């Protein structure tokens, strides 16, 4: 019973290793949204692609990427990840 208790949902969610996985997930999400926003900004900065950018709605996508980045940077973001697997901290810088 003592060993099995280690794998109870409440025990897992309260563990330090699980919190580390959520913090790593937050760092990964921030890095992903920063990269997406940077790529969209680079695309918009190319004047010869202005018509394509307009047709594909790149400005709107950039706005959405910036909003997602702000959400991922929010202090309470890790709390929204509770119940997910998170990510192995060894895989994230």
Q: How many CB atoms lie within 10 A of CB 21?
A: 20
The predicted model scores a pTM of 0.88
Mean pLDDT of the chain: 96
Residues 6+ positions from 25 with CB-CB distance below 8 Å: 78, 81, 84, 86, 87, 92
Mean pLDDT, range 13-17, rounded to an integer:
95
Q: pLDDT tens digits, residue range 41-74? A: 999 999 999 999 999 999 999 999 999 999 999 9
Q: What pLDDT score was predicted for residue 93? A: 78
């Amino acid at each position: 019973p003592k060993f099995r208790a280690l794998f109870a949902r409440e025990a897992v969610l309260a563990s330090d290793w699980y919190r580390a996985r959520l913090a790593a997930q937050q760092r990964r999400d921030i890095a992903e949204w920063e990269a997406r926003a940077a790529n969209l900004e680079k695309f918009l900065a190319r004047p010869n692609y202005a018509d394509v950018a307009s047709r594909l709605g790149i400005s709107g996508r950039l706005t959405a990427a910036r909003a997602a980045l702000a959400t991922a940077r929010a202090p309470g973001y890790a709390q929204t990840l509770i119940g997910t697997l998170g990510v192995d901290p060894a895989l994230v810088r």
